[in-house]
Amino acid sequence: MEKKTVLEELLLKKSQQKKKISPINYKKRLFVLTKANLSYYEYNKGKKGSKRGSIEIEKIRCVETVNLEETTPPARQYPFQVVYKGGLLYVYAANEESRERWLAALHKEIKDNSDLLNKYHKGFFINGKFLCCNQTCKAAPGCTIWEKYVTLCCTTESVKPLPPGPEKLWKHRSLPQVLSPDKSVLNMAVAQCNWEETEGNSAFRLVRSNKYYVLQEEDSGWWQVRDLEGENSGVSEQTLAEEQSIAKHDWYAGYVSRVQCEQLLHQKGKEGAFMVWKSSQAGMYIVSVFSKLPESRKGTVKHYHVHKTPQNKYYLTENYCFGSIPKLIHYHQLNSAGMVTRLRHAVSTQVNKVPTTASLGNGIWELKREEIVLMRELGSGQFGVVHLGKWKGKYDVAIKMIKEGAMSEDKFIEEAQTMMKFNYPKLVRLYGVCSKLYPIYLVTEYMANGCLLSYLRSHGKELQPIQLLEICYDVCDAMAFLESCQFIHRDLAARNCLVDSNLTVKVSDFGMTRYVLDDLYVSSLGTKFLVKWSAPEVFHYAKFSSKSDVWSFGILMWEVFTLGKQPYELYDDMQVIEKVSQGYRLYRPQLVSDIIYQIMYNCWHELPEKRPAFYQLLSFFEALREDNRA
Ligand code: AMP
């Protein structure tokens, strides 16, 4: 069976130039594709000769066309590439039809492969470099998104149920940002220098500018961190300390994107409005300032990189150097000294959040009601009114006051301990409850910009497509984490995500529908049941899974890119059930490119197992982001 020929044809093969000085040549070879191998043979006088090479199908990582070189003879008009572990093969078909046949056959055979690439090189590798990006290493990461990747990896039968432990997953995945809930993440930090574990046989390395999860911050100045591959180690606070020392200033926004920063400063709209942020891309601090000078009436944002002298002094403009960033900012608050204006109004993204290091109730999840002061109403939802409150007179928290009869309280309290452990930067944190008196309080992280749906409707027009993509990325990141914990959200939608002061989007209300007592809401026949976000297996058989969350995520992406439109707005629920069951899907919103529509469309595959997993979507978003940054 494995040996049965899938496709066989005489094609032109380019020499692989394995050595630098080996000449380029093109040979006619008989290519034979089976389920196990792509092999090529000599071919003489109509006869198959000896085998000249073979690539195992499971080692293939990408198959795609290649852009033609400037001058190409007619015999080499239809090239394609086979990227595999350890090599790169260029093959020429005789015509477009033949090339498409090979691409289709190879894509079909490789779709189960675990290491498919999400980027590739569209130019040839010739004379030691890629024509598309000039990279000189043959194994250099691709420079162009491989659009086929999302279709291949997302319709693969190999999207099997998750293996037992998250640790195992890290080894398999290209973007392993998952942690089990009991190994809570305090924060992300960036290494300020290179450092290698020298004791024992650990292979842990800190690489300057790389990101690490902070698992524990000990008073001794020794932090437990984890790299993205899941290796843990203790490291000195100093190696990550710079991040912390400026974090307490209200002008410091941490990791935000350039677009987020510009949006925040435009929103403030005052001459000299400024913030300091860290670029994850450049690994640098950036001071951004809003000014209407000299001529722009709408105002523009200028970005200044914080540079360092060899003596470790910081400066924005060379004549003014300081021992620390706070000193530098202080100086420029008083003097423009080469900047477009002096720094006048700090734009703070900092709500006084409960420190990530502290558990709100010192590990006791029943909080003291008298330590909570209700400030103002933020909104109301299924469970009741939500208030902004202060905990211990200091920290901002959101308090959900559960109205009587709305929640199956015992069931919730049983489960909520687990939910509290979901300490992940893209999930709204549940800090604890006050359950001794009615109404029960659910105390959660306060998100200053409220619900994502309202945010999209009121501020959506100010957002650029890259920022909309960033919102999807944040949500996908949170969902990949929940998926890795085998936790199903069940009600993912823009209305259940919240927007932080720095415009990060976090997922909220995970798993909460299980505690709703209102039958109209819970039953798929009920009038409040949210059919429009539900996968067919949910509205037909109430069968929830991470894959039904993926369906909802596709709808959420659609909400994001329509800036908060109601899905299927012309149809009522019964019509949606009928239409979706017949294969009807939401249209492509104007702001959505083909490739992004392809992602959401894949989320709406009728069969749950053919939908992508969140971790696969995440790696795709990651590639798109990189592309946008480039
Ligand atoms: P919910 O009951 O979760 O649907 O919340 C109702 C409304 O309260 C939301 O639409 C938000 O406007 C607001 N809200 C809920 N939770 C928070 C929070 N953690 N931070 C800020 N606003 C919130």
Residue-wise pLDDT tens digits, 420-476: 778 788 999 988 888 888 898 999 999 999 999 999 999 898 888 888 999 999 999
Residue 33 has pLDDT above 80, yes or no: yes
Residue nearest (by alpha carbon) to ligand 1 atom 1: 381
- pLDDT, tens digit, for every residue of 191-211? 767 777 665 556 677 777 666
CATH number at residue 402: 3.30.200.20
Domain assignment present for 173: no
Both 191 and 283 in a single domain?
no
pLDDT digits (tens, 9 = 90+) for 605-619: 999 999 999 999 998
Same domain, 313 and 381: no
Which of 453, 498, 512 is the pocket-test mutation for ligand 1 (most atoms within 8 Å of CB)? 498
Higher pLDDT, 301 or 523: 301
pLDDT band (50, 70, 90) for residue 112:
confident
599 is a domain residue = yes
The predicted structure's pLDDT at residue 40: 96
Looking at the fold, whether 487 and 440 belong to one and the same domain comes out as no
What local confidence, expressed as pLDDT, does residue 164 receive? Answer: 31
Decide if 354 contacts 397 (C-beta within 8 A): yes
103 and 60 part of one domain: yes
Tokens found for residue 404: 């009587």
- CA of 508, closest atom in ligand 1: 3
Q: What is the pLDDT averaged over residues 487-501?
A: 93
d(CA 40, CA 45): 16
Are 509 and 496 part of one and the same domain?
yes
pLDDT of residue 585: 96
The answer to whether the CB of 549 falls within 8 A of the CB of 604 is no
Quick one: average pLDDT of 80-109? 93
Domain count, the chain: 5
Tell me the mean pLDDT in the region 381-389. 89
pLDDT of residue 343: 94
- Are 488 and 606 part of one and the same domain? yes
Question: Do 535 and 425 share a domain, yes or no?
Answer: no
Residues 398 and 471 in one domain: no
Q: Is residue 175 part of a domain?
A: no
CA gyration radius, the chain: 28
Whether 439 and 587 map to the same domain: the answer is no
Domain that holds residue 45: 5-139
Distance 444 CA to ligand 1 centre (A): 10
Residue ending a domain, among 398, 426, 445, is 445
Select the more confidently predicted residue: 167 or 308.
308
C-alpha 228/C-alpha 303 separation (Å) is 30
- The CATH number assigned to the domain holding 200 equals 2.30.30.40
The CATH number for 605's domain is: 1.10.510.10
607 within some domain: yes
Amino acid occupying residue 517: L
- Is residue 474 annotated as part of the catalytic site, yes or no? no
Residue 359 included in any domain: no
Reply yes or no on whether the pLDDT at 513 is more than 50. yes
Choosing from 430, 445, 460, the residue where a domain stops is 445
Q: What is residue 365's predicted lDDT score, i.e. its pLDDT?
A: 77
- Sorting pLDDT into bands at 50, 70 and 90, what band is 31? very high
- For residue 465, report the distance from its CA to the centre of ligand 1, in Å: 25
Q: Is the CB of 401 under 6 A from ligand 1?
A: no
- CA distance to 131, 168, 323, 481, per residue, from 122 (Å): 8, 33, 47, 33
Structure-block tokens of residue 245: 């020392």
What percent of the chain stands above pLDDT 90? 41
Q: Last residue of a domain, which of 139, 171, 197?
A: 139
Q: What is the CATH number of the domain that holds 115?
A: 2.30.29.30
pLDDT-above-70 percentage for the chain = 82
Please pick, among 227, 474, 491, 500, the residue that the annotation labels catalytic. Answer: 491
pLDDT band at 515 (very low <50, low <70, confident <90, very high): confident
Residue 361 lies in a domain: no
Task: Confirm whether 352 is domain-assigned.
Answer: no
Tell whether 353 is covered by a domain: no
Residues 267 and 190 in one domain: no
Residues 405 and 274 in one domain: no
DSSP conformation letters of 485-507: TT---S--SGGGEEE-TTS-EEE
Q: Using pLDDT thresholds of 50, 70 and 90, give the confidence band for residue 189.
A: low
- Same domain for 616 and 470: yes
Token duo for residue 127: 């004379």
